Amino acid sequence: MNLNNILYYPIIKTRDGELRCFNHVDDDTFSKILPIYELTKSRVSKKAPDGDIYRRMKQIAEIQGNRPFILDLSTDSRYINPQIEQLLSEQHGFKEWQYFLFDLHTDLNIIPMVHIYEDELGEFGDVEEFVRVASTKTDFVAVRLPYDLEQQEIEHYLEPISNNLGDGCKLIVLLDAEFVRHQVVEDVVDTFLESCEGTKLFEDKIAATVMLCTSFPSNVAQAGGEDIAGSITISEESIYQGISQEFPIRYGDYASINTEQIEMKGGTFVPRIDIASLDGKHFTYKRYRRHSGGYEECAKHTVRDRKSYVSLGVWADEEILEASRENPSGISPAFWISVRMNYYIKTRVLLREMTSS
């Protein structure tokens, strides 16, 4: 895989809405993105009262086919189960994680995440063992670090990985800022750049350093200040532009998902359709309560708003059009989050193509 062809690194949890979106990403777009899946348990059922990660892996396999992707593990208490806890065990060089990746799922093109574990003596023995094994079986491994570590801290965590990488394996460094809406863009940029400095010592081992963040709010109407229709700013693109002026960062984000991961109940959520702008700087939204027309009315007003909405020829456009004809495929918040993400992902790729040409 040539990372020079990758324009966008979206990170998602493997929940139903996010996976539905990725299941409808077109092949051309998929050829230009490298998804990062944060593995979560599946929905709880009688047969799987704790949820089952293998059901999620089957869904990922159906989406990805032989295309490469980065696989991480969720550590959020809402989305983990005993299976994930077992995979996160550092014992014997993360042996269970090794078995999961290199024995159970050899048919998938997985770039494994290196999980950082420092023992009570400050040693990284299990991490080093995992890297030694993994780097003989794959061309890339990835590591995800907080974006606000100082240069020396980044070097501290990257050194045991770099020192144990096999000759044919490169590292993808993910610097994660999570939710940045309430922060000053310039401050976020400066903090990212400090962490980026810590990667320079290992640049011969690093294939890509990627930014991750999201500024999508948990309450869109509140952020936009308007009930029925409005606009909200998003800062991911501005942050990227600020970093890339000083450092060759790659663009990644949470694909328009708020990291607070608030679970919306269908009966309390006001139907809303969100459209990302083509310049990457804002979303517009249409919001109508069920007694006022719900998603059908949202869609009608979306397609009429030609200043804010342009059909990109993706699945999201089909769903918006059908809803405007009063034939929506779904009326749950999760379904329309999938639609928002699908349109958003296409805008990110188009934006990167435009700015890199």
Average pLDDT, stretch 296-309?
96
pLDDT at 146: 97
Tell me which H or E stretch contains 231.
Answer: strand 229-233
Query: What is the percent of the chain where pLDDT is above 90?
Result: 90
Residue indicated by tokens 């995992």: 130
DSSP string, 262-300: PPPPTTTPPPEEEEE-TTSSEEEEEE--GGGTHHHHHHH
In the predicted model, is pLDDT for residue 267 greater than 70?
A: no
Cβ-count burial 60-85 (b if 16+ within 10 Å, e if not): beebbeeebbbbbbbeeeebbbebbe
Tens of pLDDT along 128-161?
Answer: 999 999 999 999 999 999 999 999 999 999 999 9
pLDDT at 356: 73
218's CB contacts (< 8 A; 6+ apart) are 258, 260, 262
Q: What angle do CA 248, 71, 175 make, to 5 degrees?
A: 30
Cα dihedral 339, 345, 347, 352 in deg (nearest 10): 180
**SS3 state of residue 145:** strand
Give just the sign of the alpha carbon dihedral 136, 137, 138, 144. Answer: negative
Query: What is the percent of the chain where pLDDT is above 70?
Result: 96
Of 184 and 43, the one with more pLDDT: 184
Specify the fold of 3-224+232-261: TIM Barrel (3.20.20)
In the predicted model, is pLDDT for residue 195 greater than 80?
A: yes
The radius of gyration of the chain's CA atoms, rounded to the nearest angstrom, is 21
Tens of pLDDT along 100-112?
Answer: 999 999 999 999 9
In the predicted model, is pLDDT for residue 274 greater than 70?
A: yes
Average pLDDT, stretch 164-172?
96
pLDDT at 262: 58
Q: Where are the domains of the chain?
A: 3-224+232-261
pLDDT at 261: 57
What's this model's pTM, rounded to 2 decimal places? 0.95
pLDDT at 121: 74
Tens of pLDDT along 27-71?
Answer: 999 999 999 999 999 877 766 666 799 999 999 999 999 999 999
Least confident among 180-194, 259-273, 313-327: 259-273
- Average pLDDT over the chain reads 94
Going by C-alpha positions, the residue among 61, 64, 65, 83 that lies closest to residue 74 is 83
* Whether 222 contacts 262, CB under 8 Å: no
